[in-house]
Structure 1
Amino acid sequence: MNTPSAPARRRSLRLVLGAAGIAALAATSACSTTSTAASAPGSGSSSAAGATGGKVIQAVAAENFWGSIASQLGGSHVHVDSIISNPDTDPHDYEPTAADARTVTTAQYSIVNGIGYDAWADKLLATNPGSGRVELKVGDLVGLKPGDNPHRWYSPDNVHQVIERITADYKKIDPADAAYFDQQKQTFETQTLGPYNQLISTIRATYAGTPIGASESIVTPLAEGLGLKMLTPESFLDAMSEGTDPTAADKATIDQQIKNKQIKVYVYNSQNSTPDVDAQVKLAKSEGIPVATVTETLSPAGDSFQQWQVAELQGIQAALAKATGK
């Protein structure tokens, strides 16, 4: 049996605060959150005072990848706090602080990933129901449930669905600024996300059908969006994501895929690396198979969603080009 990494150990513990304990945290806390995303442009936090002097929506995102998008769509009319903003924090098993509880329960708008990924956020929201808060659960939006792949920020189609929904929700909360939010959305999708959209289109057009391997299920939605063929057994991908031990059969299959050059590129999540994954990365490199890296949350933490994603897509594109000569 291998020794799981720190993220894997955290995942296996599944330490989630009970609703009663979280309610107590919310009641006792009067300080501002200390886990707010960095205030660099697009990082998930925007000015609390609207540049035009209009209404400012107080919003909270459970994770900074959604927080970054929400902040950029909101501009000067939305202030966004992201609870998970440290690249070393595992969102699956995060334990909310009292400040987090207060931030979530007092927000006008909340964004959680859902699909079993951030159950702690659901418990925080449940401490203050019926408050008039508008809530977005990404899993519900895209029609998925716990047990399905929760890493929807790696699905280009789902990202655009979330953009549409956030804009609609902002307009619902602040209809007087609807035109402003429409403009923010148009600029974000056509200009800000331009390099992201172009890379996805180019990779799909050039490398569709190329077989790849991966360290965990976080890569699957991206592979689907890029038209790449995932050969790694799903049972191995899920085991790595959930922090459980993979089977000997799955590990043997992956080793053979690498040694026989059945995969052209290996993609791994550097924030969740186990001895098994480390061994696969080492083997891939020794066999001349290019390795590309992704991370679970914004890395570095001060990057915007698009800066982070573009850097990763460029790495995958370079690996595919090296492997295929295209």
Structure 2
Amino acid sequence: MTRPVTFPTTRGGRLKLGLGGAVVAVLAATTGCSTSSPDSGADKPSASAGGASAADAAAGSSKVIQVVAAENFWGSIAGQLGGSHVKVTSIITNPDTDPHDYEPTAADARTVATAQYAIVNGIGYDSWAAKLLAANPAPQRSVLTVGDLVGIKDGGNPHRWYSPTDVHRVIERLTADYKKADPADAAYFDAQKSTFETKTLGEYNSLIAQIKATYAGTPIGASESIVSPLADGLGLKMLTPYSFLSAISEGSDPTAQDKATIDHQIAAKQIKVYIYNSQNATPDVQQQVKAAKAKGIPVATVTETLSPAGASFQQWQVTELQGIQRALAQATGK
């Protein structure tokens, strides 16, 4: 059903954007040129991020793979791995947009229609993206669904970009897929991957190792399930009931029992650090943050998408990891 553009708030006040069912009519008529969505912010070739040199690229082909990413955290990685041989357009780039409830625009449909490669998160996180791809079939297009790659099905935790292990699995697959799509530039893509993993992600990898070595087993609390894969990767012990984390993440009401459990954990200082998603600070979460600070429990923040919107994946993650490291140091004296 076609409906006008509206701007209701969802999940803690974040905007739900789109044209609803009106896009469906556009999909079938979509042709030719590729146009990024209004908030894509990525309608230009991605920087090589210090990878293979221009001379190396010249030794291969002049091919540029047209890539669309449902979310900018995967788009940032895809662009840096592909360098001058990809052009990446990310659909979700606005920090105020809720990826769970996004409604594609006509511009998104045109971008997808001409993409040769698509990256979607899956696991029920961006079901709109799968529908958009299905409505725009293209024989030449390959699709990477991250949930399928890492073996997480619908109903599991979809926030795989916060799992260091899964991030590296995505890096491996992207590189392999780029080489398959553009064999003439295989050496270039291998060089990009090597540089990205060893240099570009150097500080990211180092912080993860440092935090795990120093603070493994430290009990923490969190606002939603976005923190769970990161806590696992850092070796931290999550005390917050997963049912609460999932409820906040999905925009549903947590149970009174879960809230009481968390209130007790904070009051008794059973958790050493509280980590919350500042892009989804519901009243319950705000109250927990306030209570944690009142008890002298250090608070750290994460966000669901790149913040600021123009940051790279590694800049964003390093800033958050540094904040978590500081909070852990303050809490434990280590």
CA 1:40–1:266 in structure 2 vs 1: closer, same or farther (change >3 Å)?
Answer: farther
Partners of 1:43 and 1:68 within 8 A in 2: no
The alpha carbon displacement at 1:27 in A equals 1.8
Counterpart position of 1:136:
144
CA 1:168–1:113 in structure 2 vs 1: closer, same or farther (change >3 Å)?
Answer: same
The alpha carbon displacement at 1:36 in A equals 2.3
1:241-263, CA deviations, whole angstroms, 9 ceiling, x for partnerless residues? 01011111111100100010100
Alignment TM-score, normalising by the size of structure 2: 0.89
1:216-247, CA deviations, whole angstroms, 9 ceiling, x for partnerless residues? 00000000000000000011001000101111
Q: Indicate which of 72, 86, 99 corresponds to 2:94.
A: 86
Partners of 2:12 and 2:282 within 8 A in 1: no
Matches within 5 A, 1:51-130: 52=58, 54-130=62-138
Counterpart position of 1:252:
260
Secondary structure of 1:309's aligned partner? helix
Q: Which runs of 4+ in 1 moved over 4 A?
A: 13-18, 28-31, 38-44
Counterpart position of 2:5:
none
1:240-290, CA deviations, whole angstroms, 9 ceiling, x for partnerless residues? 001011111111100100010100000000000111000000000000000
The alpha carbon displacement at 1:127 in A equals 1.3
Indicate whether 1:35 and 2:32 are aligned: no
Q: Indicate which of 6, 25, 40 corresponds to 2:9.
A: 6
CA–CA distance in structure 2, aligned partners of residues 156 and 26 of structure 1: 38
CA–CA distance in structure 1, aligned partners of residues 255 and 18 of structure 2: 25
CA–CA distance in structure 1, aligned partners of residues 266 and 309 of structure 2: 32
The alpha carbon displacement at 1:32 in A equals 1.6
CA 1:40–1:205 in structure 2 vs 1: closer, same or farther (change >3 Å)?
Answer: farther
Counterpart position of 2:202:
194
Secondary structure of 2:11's aligned partner? helix
Q: Which amino acid aligns with 1:231?
A: L
Q: Which amino acid aligns with 2:204?
A: Y
CA 1:15–1:76 in structure 2 vs 1: closer, same or farther (change >3 Å)?
Answer: closer
Q: Which amino acid aligns with 1:8?
A: R
Partners of 1:265 and 1:291 within 8 A in 2: yes
CA 1:86–1:136 in structure 2 vs 1: closer, same or farther (change >3 Å)?
Answer: same
The alpha carbon displacement at 1:22 in A equals 2.4
Secondary structure of 2:10's aligned partner? helix
Counterpart position of 1:171:
179
Counterpart position of 2:308:
300
Q: Which amino acid aligns with 1:178?
A: A
Q: Which amino acid aligns with 1:68?
A: S
CA–CA distance in structure 2, aligned partners of residues 231 and 201 of structure 1: 22
Aligned residues: 317
Partners of 1:64 and 1:297 within 8 A in 2: yes
Partners of 1:26 and 1:98 within 8 A in 2: no
The alpha carbon displacement at 1:26 in A equals 5.4
Partners of 1:41 and 1:304 within 8 A in 2: no
The percent identity for this pair of structures is: 73
Q: Indicate which of 202, 205, 214 corresponds to 1:206.
A: 214
CA 1:206–1:16 in structure 2 vs 1: closer, same or farther (change >3 Å)?
Answer: farther
The alpha carbon displacement at 1:8 in A equals 1.4
Q: Indicate which of 180, 188, 191 corresponds to 1:183.
A: 191
CA–CA distance in structure 2, aligned partners of residues 258 and 6 of structure 1: 29
The alpha carbon displacement at 1:187 in A equals 0.2
CA–CA distance in structure 2, aligned partners of residues 6 and 236 of structure 1: 21
Partners of 1:7 and 1:271 within 8 A in 2: no
Q: Indicate which of 273, 285, 291 corresponds to 1:283.
A: 291
CA–CA distance in structure 2, aligned partners of residues 107 and 51 of structure 1: 22
Secondary structure of 1:89's aligned partner? coil
Alignment TM-score, normalising by the size of structure 1: 0.91
